[in-house]
Amino acid sequence: MGFISEVKEEIAIIKERDAAIHSSMEVFLYPSFKVMILYRMAHKLYLKKHYFLARWISQKGVRKTGIEIHPGAQIGKGFFIDHGSGVIIGETAIIGDNVTLYQGVTLGGTGKEQGKRHPTLGNNIMIGAGAKVLGSCTIGDNCKIGAGSVVLEDVPAGCTVVGVPGRIVKRVNPDRPQDKLDQVHFPDPVKEELTALQHSNAEITNRLIDLEQQLRNLSRTQKEEKQKEEVKNEDL
């Protein structure tokens, strides 16, 4: 793909994903646009083993945008970084098509691995602000990672993950993209657990009330029987 084609593709992606944009000219001000153009250049140099030049261009992009993408990372089509400040993508990261990252996302290593030490992302994935995906884990197609989550293990396709450490809170058809790839429509596992506890507590409370009533009825019955027995004995 030529340089002009890459520019047109980046413009189309940003206009499609960002509702705040009003004209094509605004795209040239976007950190995502700038860093992706520089990344494409650096990646080509990296593949040709011009490592110093590749890193020089990459670091230039970091200074301009606050987004650090290692030139060795592999990024597919339709990639978009919203706002972008603080985003870090490691050398051995592999990113599929139609992936969206928000500000502060890290696709990094754990510091304990060699070789393939960064995440592999499938297609149609959204990763919320501040989320960290660390190590050589794999995130399947059509997944959502909630803001602030920390993911250290593989995630199957079609899942929604939230929390620290990240855990799966929703599964959908793995072959179909989730309807709303945004940072708002996420299940709240804490709320769900509290609701379940409230229901359990209500059931236990109702059961205790029933038992207390049964005990009172039993006590009343025993008292009445004792009184009848006393009356009977007096008559005798």
Residue 11 has pLDDT above 90, yes or no: no
Regarding beta strands 150-151 and 132-134, do their DSSP bridges make them parallel or antiparallel, or are they unpaired? parallel
- The CATH homologous superfamily to which domain 3-183 belongs is Hexapeptide repeat proteins (2.160.10.10)
Residue 180 and residue 177: Cα distance in Å, rounded? 9
Task: Report which of 29, 137, 4, 161 is spatially closest to residue 84, judged by C-alpha positions.
Answer: 29
* pLDDT, tens digit (0-9, with 9 covering 90-100), for 177-217: 665 555 556 666 666 777 778 888 888 888 888 888 888 88
Residue 134 pairs with which residues in a beta bridge? Answer: 108
Record the tokens describing residue 146, joined without a space. Answer: 């909630």
State the pLDDT at residue 53: 95
CB 136 within 8 A of CB 152: no
Domains of the chain by residue range:
3-183, 188-236
**Token pair of 118, please?**
């960064």
Instruction: Find out whether 148 and 166 touch, Cβ atoms under 8 Å.
Output: no
Specify the pTM: 0.72
**What is the C-alpha to C-alpha distance for residues 100 and 176, in angstroms, rounded to an integer?**
17
